[in-house]
Structure 1
Amino acid sequence: MKISDITIKTFRTYADRWDVGHALPLPNTQMMQTVLTIHTDEGVVGHYFGGGSHGDNEGLNVVDQQQILWRIKDLLVGQDPMDREMIWKWMWVANVQENVASVIDNALWDLAGRFANLPVYKLMGGAGREKVKAYASTYPNIGKPHVYAEHALACKNEGYIAYKIHPHYFWNPETGQPTPGRPSNIKADIETCHLVREAVGPDYVLMFDPWGTYMTMEEAIQVGREL
């Protein structure tokens, strides 16, 4: 079995999103979505939905699509779709950005699952598990620290067993306006963590994802010690 083609379908869709820069909801926002398909000469296909900056929430942008159709496709046509590790290495040494390489890799896994008539998690080992635990995860900049605490408690009351804080990125929680990201908002981030912990109690599982936005190692250590 050989890869014979790669196609991308683009379509318009709508979803509720979040304006990270202004801490405002964006209901029913128009978005571009994509489905990439890897085809083979035996008729087996693999699909991947999405691949943009928020994973499967939005599609590949035009530049990423062109890279796939005019560069990566030439590398892959004629190759065995089961050689996923080799194909990943090719994309790695070709400096293909991670989200694009991941779309190809996920589509190849989907193709393998369809060929074997098994769900992909079974191909990866399965371990007899058919469920995964779910946790609530915020957008960045959902508001001032007390807003995170209120939201965390609401999520706990809805039944979520854990809560992840994405704190204040490129946004000033005092003014509610975007910033260049420097200096970091570690004071507000620390306050957020304290208020969330007080709201949900001592035994509730919490996570913290500052997304690499702290300016210095010292800032990261300061927040880490507080956690």
Structure 2
Amino acid sequence: MTSHTESDTRRTAVVTGASSGIGAATARALAEQGFHVYCAARRTERVTALAEEIGGTPLTVDVTSEESVAALAEVVGERLDVLVNNAGGAFGSAPVAEADAEQWRAMYEVNVIGLMLVTRALLPALKTSGAGVICNVGSTAGRIAYEGGAGYTAAKHGTQVVTETLRLELFDQPIRVCEVAPGMVRTDEFALVRFDGDREKADAVYAGVREPLVAEDVADAIAWVVTRPPHVNIDELVIRPRAQAAQHKVHRQP
């Protein structure tokens, strides 16, 4: 683990949800680009191992907790170049008629409220940088509805709309506001968490799809978005595997 100091002239980045999947891959990608990365997530052991690997700073953070987010902002300090709001998740796949209200609340809390809390806390540091970037990790689920996905699609539509609103509100500030919206991405945990540990259901999501996206594909896109010249804003970047023409149209082979 490396501590960032005022004498360190490297650019800095915060990545939330950095303990696995897209978040961990993004932390690695930004470190390769020369950033000092604050690796933020709830699972201390995982972010500590990641930070040691990439020379970053591990931070145990629950993005839905104002106290936890305030502690994150205190460690980051007065200046920040990039914020990647990656923390999120999907829980359950029941139709609306059978929906679990607690799962819906949890999805809204992490995908929308958490994004707001972290952004609000770090905006002063992003402004101080003179060329800050906020990159919110959305989803193609934030652009279309599908059966069994109402809670998640509602939350990710929220992510998209908060991003659009921020861009309007910060139009005269030295901060770019971007969204990367992945389609089908196969990671170790996303579908498994969604289906409450049911491996068979999780594997069925990707059945027959030879090359879904992987976390590193999305991380590569995020790293590209946040390293454009300061006058270039990538409003939104939708990234899918070639096999996925649309949310409901996926090429599957036996």
**Alignment TM-score, normalising by the size of structure 1:** 0.29
**Alignment TM-score, normalising by the size of structure 2:** 0.27
Instruction: Pick the structure with more helix per residue.
Output: 2
Max radius of gyration: which structure? 1
Instruction: Pick the structure with more strand per residue.
Output: 1
